[in-house]
Amino acid sequence: MNSGRDIMLGINTNTVSLLALGAWCAAAGAQTTIHKCVIEGKVSYGDTPCTAGAASQLLVPATGAPDPHYTKLMARQKAYVGRLDAERRAEEIQAERRGAHERRQAAAHRQKCAKLGLRKKWNHEDLARAEGKHAASLRVKARRQAEEMALECPD
């Protein structure tokens, strides 16, 4: 499956397959028969006849030494595809690391909110049991605790 980036760069897996097929044919150096198989709508090429599906033979004429220009071009294209693969893998690793970091932060935030919720609950329980002058100070403490929780955990 082509990614959006591959499409933007003009890379097509069929093109890469055909380039590889061409290089394979050039390396053979003699007239070769290539078997083209179409099975359930998928095309494959090989040096052995098809066992099922539609089949056809392609004769590749004998060639001399491969053109050095195309050999260099093929090497550059392979290097470019290799760099793209390495970049993609690096981006996937970075994305996974970012995701793991975000999951750890979210878990820490949930834990902090749970602790604040418990403190708020305990302060209200203490306030309910308190009497007189002590109740006034606990009322202020409970209000401050509720404000802190509202600030840290608005949801």
Q: What is the pLDDT along the chain (155 residues), one digit of tens a residue?
A: 444 444 444 455 555 555 555 655 555 455 677 888 888 888 888 878 887 767 777 766 766 777 889 999 999 999 999 999 999 999 999 999 999 999 999 999 999 999 999 999 998 899 888 888 888 888 899 999 999 999 999 87
Do 81 and 5 touch, CB atoms closer than 8 A? Answer: no
H-helix segments, the chain: 4-8, 13-28, 68-129, 133-152
Determine the residue type at 131: E
pLDDT at 48: 81
pLDDT at 106: 95
Residue 65: DSSP 8-state = S
For residues 15 and 9, what is the distance between their CA atoms, to the nearest angstrom?
A: 13
> pTM of the full predicted structure?
0.47
For residues 102 and 95, what is the distance between their CA atoms, to the nearest angstrom?
A: 10
What long-range pairs does 104-109 form, CB within 8 A, spacing at least 24?
A: 109/153
Bridge partner list, 34: 58
Residue 9: DSSP 8-state = T
